[in-house]
């Protein structure tokens, strides 16, 4: 199949959010992965969650501040204050409680930073200890298996959220296989996450609803069961749609992931078309043109 034949000439509309990188470590890869999995739970979309978060990649002991196995996690929110609140809650509830874990900052610290360990230290009930490791200020909080170490300050940056690929296929099984191929390929791209379950969303949304108070509702144009009832965006023969949402630390990273994912999906049988969701340029300033990024990236 020729890639250009199935790529719709459109763009994904992405928008700025504040981002942080957390390095979670533990005595074993198992517990580092558990900490990351729990921290990033219920963090798929800021439509209904306090943050969007996901695993960026696994880390070898030589890549972490304390020389233990680790996981790099990226988290995104609409503002630095909102991100700080979400991370204090998530690190406190999901990482500090995880056996043998520690939490480290993964971005440069400057004026645009958040205070995580400095707020969690109060859990130590006066027995917490401040420590420095090079230029890092840490808090050692006594817990039942020893101590929880958390860096005080976490750097933030202006990231890009809402990049997306929408895969249209002849049936559920083959469309899902194409989406899985895209997710697996994007896993090799640094500085990005795919916040939805396994990197894939089946319940794509549109802005607004017929019901008052709802910010978003099901994307009726891409729902096969509504064909004939609403204006549809589905070509003939399409009976399943999956969306891959991409958040990244930079626009370039989101563009790379878009191109890599589209190429991987396009070679799968049963895929009819690849498109992207946008709102006519009204939602965000970043317009990721599919055919353009496939030529450049």
Q: Where are the domains of the chain?
A: 3-13+159-296, 17-157
Q: Does domain 17-157 have CATH number 2.40.110.10?
A: no
The band of 16, judged by pLDDT with boundaries at 50, 70 and 90, is: very high
Distances (CA, A) of 258 to 24, 143, 244: 27, 42, 9
Question: What residues contact 230, with CB distance under 8 A and at least 6 apart?
Answer: 220, 221, 223
The band of 49, judged by pLDDT with boundaries at 50, 70 and 90, is: very high
Q: Cα separation of 45 and 225, whole Å? A: 24
8 A C-beta contact, residue 7 and residue 274: yes
Which pair of tokens denotes residue 68?
């233990």
For residue 1, pLDDT beyond 60:
no
Residues 234-274 have pLDDT tens digits of: 999 999 999 999 999 999 999 999 999 999 999 999 999 99
Q: Cα separation of 229 and 113, whole Å? A: 49
Residues 168-193 have pLDDT tens digits of: 999 999 999 999 999 999 999 999 99
The band of 3, judged by pLDDT with boundaries at 50, 70 and 90, is: confident
Residues 85-106 have pLDDT tens digits of: 999 999 999 999 999 999 999 9
DSSP conformational letter for 238:
-
Q: Cα separation of 183 and 187, whole Å? A: 6
For residue 77, pLDDT beyond 70:
yes
Render 139-157 in DSSP notation, one character per residue. Answer: EEEEETTEEEEEESEEE-E
For residue 114, pLDDT beyond 60:
yes
pLDDT at 281: 78
pLDDT at 2: 63
Neighbours of 228 (CB within 10 A): 6
The band of 5, judged by pLDDT with boundaries at 50, 70 and 90, is: confident
* Residues belonging to the chain: 297
Of 65, 72, 212, 224, residue with least CA distance to 135: 65
Q: What mean pLDDT value characterizes the chain?
A: 96
Q: Does domain 3-13+159-296 have CATH number 3.40.50.300?
A: no
3-13+159-296 matches 17-157 in fold: yes
Of 67, 253, 96, 86, residue with least CA distance to 156: 86
Q: Cα separation of 10 and 19, whole Å? A: 27
| H-helix segments, the chain | 3-6, 29-39, 80-90, 117-120, 172-186, 251-266, 290-296
**CA angle 179-185-169, nearest 5°?**
20
Per the model's pLDDT, the better-predicted residue between 133 and 34 turns out to be: 34
Q: What percent of the chain has pLDDT over 70?
A: 99
8 A C-beta contact, residue 200 and residue 184: no
Q: Cα separation of 88 and 249, whole Å? A: 20
8 A C-beta contact, residue 125 and residue 143: no
Confidence (pTM) = 0.95
Q: Cα separation of 148 and 75, whole Å? A: 21
Neighbours of 211 (CB within 10 A): 7
Number of H helices and E strands in the chain, helices first, is 7, 16
């Amino acid at each position: 199949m020729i890639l250009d034949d199935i790529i719709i000439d459109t763009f994904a509309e992405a928008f700025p959010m504040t981002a942080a990188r957390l390095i979670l470590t533990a005595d074993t890869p198992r517990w580092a992965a558990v900490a990351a999995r729990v921290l990033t739970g219920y963090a798929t979309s800021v439509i209904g969650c306090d943050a969007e978060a996901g695993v960026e990649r696994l880390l070898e002991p030589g890549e972490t501040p304390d020389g233990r196995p680790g996981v790099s996690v990226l988290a995104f929110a609409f503002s630095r204050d909102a991100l700080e609140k979400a991370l204090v809650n998530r690190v406190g509830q999901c990482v500090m409680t995880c056996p043998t874990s520690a939490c480290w900052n993964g971005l440069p610290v400057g004026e645009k930073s958040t205070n995580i360990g400095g707020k969690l230290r109060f859990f130590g009930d006066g027995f917490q200890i401040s420590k420095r490791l090079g230029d890092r200020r840490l808090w050692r909080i006594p817990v039942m298996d020893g101590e929880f170490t958390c860096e005080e300050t976490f750097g933030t940056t202006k990231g890009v959220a809402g990049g997306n690929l929408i895969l249209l296929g002849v049936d559920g099984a083959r469309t899902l296989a194409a989406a899985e191929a895209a997710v697996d390929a994007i896993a090799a791209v640094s500085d990005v996450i795919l916040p939805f379950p396994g990197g894939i969303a089946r319940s794509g949304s549109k802005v607004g609803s017929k019901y008052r108070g709802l910010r978003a509702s099901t994307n009726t144009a891409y729902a096969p069961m509504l064909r004939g009832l609403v204006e549809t965006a589905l070509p003939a023969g399409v009976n399943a749609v999956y969306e891959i949402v991409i958040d990244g630390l930079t626009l370039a990273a989101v563009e790379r992931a878009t191109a890599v994912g589209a190429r991987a999906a396009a070679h799968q049988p049963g895929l009819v078309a690849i498109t992207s969701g946008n709102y006519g340029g009204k939602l965000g300033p970043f317009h990721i043109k599919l055919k353009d990024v496939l030529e450049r990236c």
